[in-house]
Structure 1
Amino acid sequence: MRQSTKSLHAQAIASPIGIDFGTTNSSVALARGGQIELVRFARRSGETESFRSVLYLERVRQDGHLRIGSWTGPTAIEHYLDAEKKGRLIQSLKSYLSSSNLTGTEILGRHFSFENLISRILTDLRLNAERQFGRDIRYAMVGRPVRFVGAESAEDDAFAVGRLQRAFEFAGFEKVEFAMEPVAAAYAYESTLDHDELILIGDFGGGTSDFSLLRVGPGIRKRGRSPQDLLGNSGLGLAGDAFDARIVRKLVSPALGAGTLLHPASKMLPAVPAWIYLNLERWHYLSFLRTRNVTEILKSARVRAMEPDKIEALITLVDEDLGFQLHQAVQRLKFELSSAETAEFRFVDGTLELRKAVTRAEFESWIADDLAAIEGCVDSLFDSSSVGYADVDRVFLTGGTSFVPAVRGIFERRFGVDRVRSGNEFTSVARGLALRAEESLSDARHS
């Protein structure tokens, strides 16, 4: 017998998922009876539980007419790399949620609202979950940072949450609840405990670093959670993307002519404007440099520069649109320096080859200001909550930047190596959100 529309709708609302919509990557999970299943996303090299938070738009011809095709996640990256004539690749949309000045943009001759762009990614996250779990899904527990990138006030944060709420509604969700991302990670950690603890959670994303102090454990769940269990939150709009930008600025840009001067006859001026190198620090901006104006600037600089070979390398990078490959090389260096004192930066693609040995100490000097900002954020949390470092039973770190030894060292110096833990660095927030969604649904049924 076919289920009624009303019954199917009730099932869709009663099937909540946890969605960690991240600046760089997103993940989705479903909890059933405390057991967690992560959504797996298809890509050419095999399935992945990490969905790149990117959107690619390109003109395509269909039935004799040109229209705008769109792809998200791993498929978006693949289409972008395959395209001979590049369309528009958009990423890090989450970083602009708090910006009231950014309401939308024109892409390939068509206007898109900011919420519509985000909803296109969220729609595919929902559809992938529906295919895997075999049911309609209209209810999501969604992670949010303690402070959104660019937010300078509580009003800015509220504005960002409102925009994200609308984007989820545009993507077909009828019920959306929000939970702080570090608190969600705490739920994932809590599922491993057989006793209660006071914990500090550090969640390092692509755009934000967030921290929460809270009490968790089976005893807390049994008696029922209370607002007093959360002792404090703090966060800042700085994380993994900033570290990547430092590597490009300190290592890559100089090899591509940053700081190179014109010949003395030209009064020793910089050969290439600084704004061109700023575009290298976010790999998807590189395609914006493929214009006639930039081409003329670079060709003129190559003729008059004291180090023309470096300008030639920059021209090759821009002409061949190698931003994604450059990003992968930066990520690989950062990963290798997490386990070794020295690593080689290797970027070899066609005629362009950049190689340079880098020490961990050099890398840490490049990110020293960022590390100091993270330390200050952690210390301010303890100052405002009147909790001492010795009171914390465990520190749980999650997110890709938690692999960086200098970041981990911030916590090991304050709490000792034995109290610092990590695990499921890229999916713990989604896991915790799924558990929170299941708990929220159970509470609603029994209230």
Structure 2
Amino acid sequence: MIGFDYGTSNCAVGVMEGNRPAILPLGDHGRYIASNLYAPSREVIVNWLYRQLPSAEQATFKQQRALALQKGQAEIRELALDGIPAELSFGRDALTHYLQEPDEGYYIKSPKSFLGASGLLPPQIELFEDIVAAMMSNVKTLAEAALGRNITQTVIGRPVNFQGLRGEESNRQALAILTRAARRVGFKDVEFQFEPVAAGFEYEASLDQETRVLVVDIGGGTTDCSMLLMGPRQAASQDRGRDLLSHSGERVGGNDFDIAFALKGMMPAFGLNSSLASGKAIPANGYWQAVAINDINQQTEFYSAANGRFLRQLVRDAAQPELVKRLLTVQQHKLSYRVVNAAEQSKIALTEHTHQQVDLSDIDDGLSIRLDREGFGLACQRELNSIASLMKDAIDQAGTQPEVVFVTGGTARSPVLNQFLQQQFQHTPIVIGDHFGSVTAGLTRWARHVFS
């Protein structure tokens, strides 16, 4: 049995070693594998997955995906003529493949962000299910290699609310995709646990008395807050429902910080906030679409042929056409992930440094942008305010103040966020957990509870 953090930014797997959870090494990726996938063509994902499935699953899958498998096989033959293997890459390897040839192949980051999206058609749901299953299969294979045995039981983390406009319907859609994918790749028993609740379990193990804890889990795609009663007595209970005093969640997470930083910190160098030759402001919507990598509809619109024609006209009409040409380059060469990745890496660097120079000379010769912590804080005010609202909502629902605030998630490393949290809770202790491992450790503890 394992705890499986299928995260928006990273995936990790934990097992119990005695009374302590341990996060498994996943081959060359280390303990955390970035939630990225690269394929030489989108059509071959289904064929790669078919080859990885347990034999008992292959016949049903082949029947369900007959047409997609035929299309994929035709694409594999085309790729073979060019000497391109029809293999998938994951984690850092996937990002490397994308950055080498951004306008070739198929790259997706954080597919979890799309699972609750409204208006997905059946073929889109099948595609996301296959992407998730491929990523889960890869992680499962690596975890089994580390353990030397098969894994059939898992507890998977879930946010309080997935991205989506339809509330519980969006949550059901996302959970159904995750469940089908997990069972397809060989997990026989699949359970879910709220990520902020799981994150709190690890902190709970250090407590010697009952404590009201506000758990704030700032993940890659969502921020979830839960007010929990924690302590030795609660930790021994099989049913934690009575201990969960409140929870709130929204699709604002590390990806949104990266996108906001890319938009407000970098897109001015691409013409945002500049003017047309007529003196009117440059339309801003295209800049948002360029960096909205967690919104499939915005990205589809940005990369449409019609938008390409619009941007070429915008270059002609701009007072500073050399800036807008950079946006056109992003559109023509599918560089959205390149730009947002630069913002993400800068955010990480600003944890240790007050400023960061970003080299984008691959987009335009000599293009370099200086970013700093102050600019990051200003760019992300909306996201910070959203997190403050979620925390207040959880406290109001519980009808009581927390005795401790426990914070986890990669973005929690940021000094800007730490300062913001200190301002919100000036008289309450704030504990910063393992930025990436708290959820995995908690899911692992819960797996022992439910499967023992």
Higher mean C-alpha deviation, range 405-414 or range 141-150 = 405-414
Pairing partner for 1:36 from 21, 32, 35: 21
Q: Distance in 2 between matches of 1:164 and 1:79?
A: 26
Shift of 1:438: 1.4
Matched, 1:213 2:227: yes
Q: Distance in 2 between matches of 1:258 and 1:100?
A: 29
Partner amino acid, structure 2, of 1:20:
D
Q: Distance in 1 between matches of 2:271 and 2:180?
A: 44
Higher mean C-alpha deviation, range 131-140 or range 352-361 = 352-361
Instruction: Specify the SS of the correspondent of 2:383.
Output: helix
Q: CA RMSD in A?
A: 3.2
Pairing partner for 1:148 from 157, 162, 165: 162
Contact 1:205 1:401 in 2 (8 A): yes
Instruction: Specify the SS of the correspondent of 2:120.
Output: coil
Partner amino acid, structure 2, of 1:278:
Q
Partner amino acid, structure 2, of 1:50:
Y
Pairing partner for 2:91 from 69, 73, 78: 73
Q: Distance in 2 between matches of 1:300 and 1:410?
A: 42
Structure 1, unpaired ranges of 5+? 1-15, 443-447
Instruction: Specify the SS of the correspondent of 1:150.
Output: coil
Q: Distance in 2 between matches of 1:223 and 1:281?
A: 42
Change (3 A) 1:313 1:113: closer
Pairing partner for 2:32 from 42, 50, 63: 50
Larger radius of gyration: 1
TM-score normalised by the chain length of structure 1: 0.81
Q: Distance in 1 between matches of 2:237 and 2:444?
A: 21
Shift of 1:246: 1.4
Aligned to 2:346: 333
Shift of 1:151: 4.7
Q: Distance in 2 between matches of 1:165 and 1:383?
A: 33
Change (3 A) 1:276 1:105: farther
Aligned to 1:312: 325
Change (3 A) 1:194 1:152: same
% identity of equivalent residues: 27
Contact 1:102 1:114 in 2 (8 A): no
Contact 1:32 1:438 in 2 (8 A): no
Shift of 1:172: 1.8
Aligned to 1:5: none
Shift of 1:238: 0.9
Q: Distance in 2 between matches of 1:293 and 1:88?
A: 21
Shift of 1:40: 2.5
Instruction: Specify the SS of the correspondent of 1:49.
Output: coil
Change (3 A) 1:284 1:222: closer
Partner amino acid, structure 2, of 1:366:
A
Pairing partner for 1:343 from 347, 355, 359: 355
Q: Distance in 1 between matches of 2:434 and 2:173?
A: 31
> Going by fraction, where is strand more abundant, 1 or 2?
1
Matched, 1:366 2:379: yes
Aligned to 1:408: 418
Matched, 1:274 2:261: no
Contact 2:291 2:337 in 1 (8 A): no
Instruction: Specify the SS of the correspondent of 1:262.
Output: coil
Shift of 1:56: 1.9
Q: Distance in 2 between matches of 1:380 and 1:292?
A: 43
Pairing 1:37-186 to 2, within 5 Å after superposition: 37-43=22-28, 47-59=29-41, 60-61=76-77, 68-83=86-101, 86-99=104-117, 101-105=119-123, 112-186=126-200
Contact 2:220 2:253 in 1 (8 A): yes
Shift of 1:371: 1.9
Pairing 1:190-209 to 2, within 5 Å after superposition: 190-209=204-223
Instruction: Specify the SS of the correspondent of 2:220.
Output: coil
Shift of 1:324: 4.2
* Count of equivalent residues: 413
Change (3 A) 1:192 1:426: same
Partner amino acid, structure 1, of 2:231:
G
Shift of 1:199: 1.4
Partner amino acid, structure 1, of 2:180:
R
Q: Distance in 1 between matches of 2:423 and 2:276?
A: 47
Shift of 1:353: 3.8
Instruction: Specify the SS of the correspondent of 1:349.
Output: coil
Aligned to 2:56: none
Q: Deviations over 1:193-232 (max 9, x none)?
A: 4444321111011111001111223333346654322212
Shift of 1:271: 5.9
Shift of 1:384: 1.4
TM-score normalised by the chain length of structure 2: 0.80
Pairing partner for 2:441 from 431, 438, 443: 431
Higher mean C-alpha deviation, range 272-281 or range 202-211 = 272-281
Q: Distance in 2 between matches of 1:209 and 1:284?
A: 17
Q: Distance in 1 between matches of 2:187 and 2:131?
A: 15
Q: Distance in 2 between matches of 1:120 and 1:275?
A: 32
Change (3 A) 1:397 1:382: same
Change (3 A) 1:76 1:412: same
Instruction: Specify the SS of the correspondent of 2:264.
Output: helix
Q: Distance in 2 between matches of 1:216 and 1:367?
A: 32
Higher mean C-alpha deviation, range 153-162 or range 252-261 = 153-162
Q: Distance in 2 between matches of 1:53 and 1:297?
A: 33
Shift of 1:244: 1.4
Q: Distance in 1 between matches of 2:445 and 2:237?
A: 17
Change (3 A) 1:99 1:301: closer
Aligned to 2:12: 27
